[in-house]
Structure 1
Amino acid sequence: MIRIAIADDHTVFREGLVSLLSEDNNVSIVAQAKNGKEVLEILENESIDVLILDIEMPEMDGFDTIREIRQLDIEVRVLVLTMHSSLQFIKNILKAGAHGYLPKDVGKTTLLNALDTIHRTGQFHSPETAKMIMDDLREDTHTTAISPREKEVIQLIADGYTTQEIAEKLYLSRHTIESHRKNILLKLGLKNSAGLVKYAIRKGIVYC
């Protein structure tokens, strides 16, 4: 039996989740909370296996709640259930100390599978989330392969300089700059300078 606590400030959603999960014989809903402070009070008095946690809550949000749980070294696994789905958001909650993530529009079967997986193994990543994270790691690997000189070239491209102007600024030939540009696109798997600039800004290689 998995002992569950649910934290979400939207009463209708929280109670709907309780009703949904209560239908499963492997789950026991031990407590509910509408903010992080209530979560910490529950964890002081109850043994909870998995905490289903929203992020945007009053008084103490999900991020602060996770950090406080980690700081207090409370033995509970945290599954974040939220409307946010960007890669950076997912990376932030995992970095904060969450054990898994799911969007709020997830189906019952997937949610129950996530609870069971986190309870047994200590973490859960859906195939979609795992793919996003792995793709990002591959991009980071490509980014680290960019040399300091190539980063200079990327920055100047992002600043709107032509190939000839970049060559003059770096005291290099036009041919060398063209070679740098082609090598950069090849390393990053990009097709043109427009895609390069978007990628470089997103990954923090350059700043505009």
Structure 2
Amino acid sequence: MTTAIRVAIAEPCPIIRSGLEAQLKKLARYKVQVLHLVEDFRRDWSEAIGLITADIFILNPLLSGISPQTYFSAQREVAKFVALSYGTTDETLLREYDDVLRITDSVQQIADLFDRLVRVEEETQGTPSLDSQSLTPREREIVVCVVKGMTNKEIASALFLSTHTVITHRRNITKKLQIHSPSGLTIYAIMNKLVELNEINQKN
């Protein structure tokens, strides 16, 4: 089953833009309609914002800045905002975005990113919590980091995420598992063989 999704891209470089669109078209789980906010280095892209609605906005931070709300305040509650990273930007500065997509990401990594964003949207609309086995690979990684005693900032650094994204993942994990404490996550991680006993709180 595929999910129809509208993706708006604000990226001035035509090579990057066309390559990203080609990757998005390869997503098996999503039928992606791509909308371009920028054409060939024109800088009047912000004029299109009021005319376009999308489920996900993929934005070059050089255009939209470190806070997409500057341009998209009216759509903040109904869309997700993803920073397009060339690998030269300090991703800790992108915590106002919902996630980060790197130009080196594979199709599978992009699919995982979309899964996270769409699942967050479904949960905010009251979709019943999923069972514990529905944790994504990234969420399982974060559970392991929490059990090891890492802070949100340390997790973000280790997994190359923004702190905001880590917090969002932890919120989703709590909703899915209905576990509200690190000790509860520790028991869950041990029972599901995510960690060994000697790994727990090893940083401490």
**TM-score, scaled relative to structure 2:** 0.51
Question: What number of residue pairs does the alignment pair up?
Answer: 134
* 2:37/2:49 contact within 8 Å kept: no
* 1:8/1:35 contact within 8 Å kept: no
What whole-Å deviation, never above 9, does each CA across 1:132-182 have from its counterpart, x for those lacking one? x9645376xxxxxxxxxxxxxxxxxxxxxxxxxxxxxxxxxxxxxxxxxxx
Which of the residues 48, 58, 71 maps onto 1:52? 58
Instruction: State the partner residue of 2:9.
Output: 6
Structure 2 residue identity aligned to 1:77? K
Which of the residues 64, 71, 79 maps onto 2:82? 79
In 1, the alpha carbon distance for the partners of 2:54 and 2:137 equals 23
Instruction: State the partner residue of 1:28.
Output: 33
Question: How far off is 1:68 after superposition?
Answer: 1.1
Structure 2 residue identity aligned to 1:53? L
In 2 relative to 1, CA 28–73 (structure 1 residues): closer, same or farther, beyond 3 Å? Answer: closer
Structure 2 gap segments, 5+ residues each: 124-135, 155-202
2:85 counterpart of 1:41: no
Matches of residues 1-150 of structure 1 in structure 2 within 5 Å?
1-24=4-27, 26-33=31-38, 37-38=44-45, 40-57=46-63, 61-64=64-67, 66-69=68-71, 71-74=73-76, 75-84=78-87, 89-94=90-95, 96=96, 98-122=97-121, 127=138, 135-137=150-152
Structure 1 gap segments, 5+ residues each: 140-188, 191-208
In 2 relative to 1, CA 41–130 (structure 1 residues): closer, same or farther, beyond 3 Å? Answer: farther
Higher alpha-carbon Rg: 1
In 2, the alpha carbon distance for the partners of 1:7 and 1:85 equals 18
In 2, the alpha carbon distance for the partners of 1:126 and 1:85 equals 26
- Larger RCO (CA within 8 A; separation ≥ 6): 2
In 2 relative to 1, CA 100–126 (structure 1 residues): closer, same or farther, beyond 3 Å? Answer: farther
Query: Could you say what secondary structure the match of 2:87 adopts?
Result: coil
Two-structure CA RMSD over aligned residues (Å): 3.9
Range that drifts further, 43-52 or 14-23: 14-23
In 1, the alpha carbon distance for the partners of 2:137 and 2:66 equals 20
